[in-house]
Amino acid sequence: MNPAGYRLIDEQSPPLYSGRALRICTFFFSPVGLTMALVNAGRSGRTDLRPKILLAFLIYTLLYVAVSYVRIRLFPPESQRILRVLNLALGYALGLYYENLFAPVLEAHLSAGGRLASAWLPALIILTLVVIALGVSLWIGGTPIASR
């Protein structure tokens, strides 16, 4: 192991997701970002990061639920925009945390000749979930979620 705690790279070393891919996928759909972060921890041999990843996701989920509850229960619909922005900011903050958590691991991985994984599969999963949600919304209510 090197000083960053990263195991040495060999020819068969699996690729890791980049920090930007973690941040963007976490922002758009946090469970996909969580999965990518856990995959990075496993592939890099840094299993000590898994509790930090899961704890950050738990805190994010609790804050998201609390903000959503406050937004729905205590504020009239016309003043809920600021709290929607707060929900988005929570997703972005979690993505930044994952990106910064893996910065030394990714640096050691790339300097040792490692590769980055393609983020197309997680992006495709997010797009598929958005299309399904939109389809269900149209099927149930007759209008998309965004127009309500």
7 has a pLDDT exceeding 70? no
pLDDT digits (tens, 9 = 90+) for 58-111: 999 999 999 888 877 887 777 777 778 888 899 999 999 999 999 999 999 999
Residues 63, 52: Cα–Cα separation, whole Å: 16
Indicate the domain borders of the chain: 19-118
Left (φ > 0), alpha (ψ -120 to 50) or beta: where does 67 sit?
alpha
Q: Which of 47, 44, 20, 46 is nearest to 119 (CA)?
A: 20
Output the pLDDT for position 72.
Answer: 79
Q: Note the pTM of the prediction, 2 decimals.
A: 0.79
| Partner residues linked to 16 by β-bridges | 116
Q: How far is CA 39 from the centre of its chain?
A: 12
- The stretch 38-59 carries a mean pLDDT of 95
Residues 6+ apart with CB under 8 A from 47: 41
pLDDT digits (tens, 9 = 90+) for 123-146: 899 999 889 988 887 887 766 555
Residues 6+ apart with CB under 8 A from 75: 83
| Partner residues linked to 116 by β-bridges | 16
